[in-house]
Amino acid sequence: MLEIDGLSAWYGEAQALRDLSLRAAPGEIVTLVGRNGAGKTTALRCVMGLHHRMSGSVRLGDTDLGPLGPARRARSGLGYVPDDRGIYATLTVQEHLILPPKAADSAWDLERVYAAFPALGERRGQAASKLSGGEQQMLAIARVLRMGARLLLLDEPTEGLAPILVQQIAAILRDAKAEGRTVLLVEQNLRFATGVADRHYLLSQGTLVATLGNDEVRARESELLQHLGI
């Protein structure tokens, strides 16, 4: 599904990513793990076409994403949930869900969205600015599922959320995985990551330094937490 080869990126003279290569198959959840500034968010932005000073290649299935801008990448099946959630304050919950075009027949209909996210159903007519931080995060994830994205790019989706909301997000990601969707997840919560993901790519100063399975992450949790500065 997702193939990244030799991805490098710069901010001015500073190099943020160095020759990053990774794979994620249909129905796989993989994480990018590393300290703040390790290049995780930059990698997501490169995949989505939002960062332009880069080299290397990104493919989604048979499609080379290089020539495509963000809008065409979204129509090709990418769904991006940034760390600031990208919520429009004056739009209602339902307006957020019905405005984006569907990218695939696998798009969730409103009934399914509201069944999976009951709080959004209860607040469908409210402006998004009135939602709690956790509800806004749910809305951002629901929006890309509503579009039918087959590759979900999620940047720190559990940051600052109550444990019950973290559990809800985990359940949603497992459902997406069961449907064959691919997820590239930036996550600092190692226990959440090992509960949902298949594999973990550890970044340090823009370089891939290790690829870890769940058992390895659990065995090295204390060491990794120290590495992450948590």
For residue range 52-78, what is the model confidence (pLDDT) as tens digits? 899 999 999 999 999 999 999 998 899
Domain count, the chain: 1
Please state the pTM of the whole predicted model. Answer: 0.92
Whether 71 is in a domain gets the answer yes
Q: Contact at 8 Å (CB) between 145 and 79?
A: yes
pLDDT digits (tens, 9 = 90+) for 136-154: 999 999 999 999 999 999 9
Whether 110 is in a domain gets the answer no
Q: How confident is the model over 208-219, as a mean pLDDT?
A: 91
Whether 13 is in a domain gets the answer yes
Whether 141 is in a domain gets the answer no
- Domain hosting residue 66, numbered range: 2-85+149-228
Can you give the pLDDT at residue 102? 82
Q: What is the DSSP letter of 129?
A: G
pLDDT exceeds cutoff 60 at 131:
yes
Whether 39 is in a domain gets the answer yes
CATH of the domain at 173: 3.40.50.300
Whether 212 is in a domain gets the answer yes
Whether 166 is in a domain gets the answer yes
Confidence bin at 230 (pLDDT 50/70/90): low
Whether 128 is in a domain gets the answer no
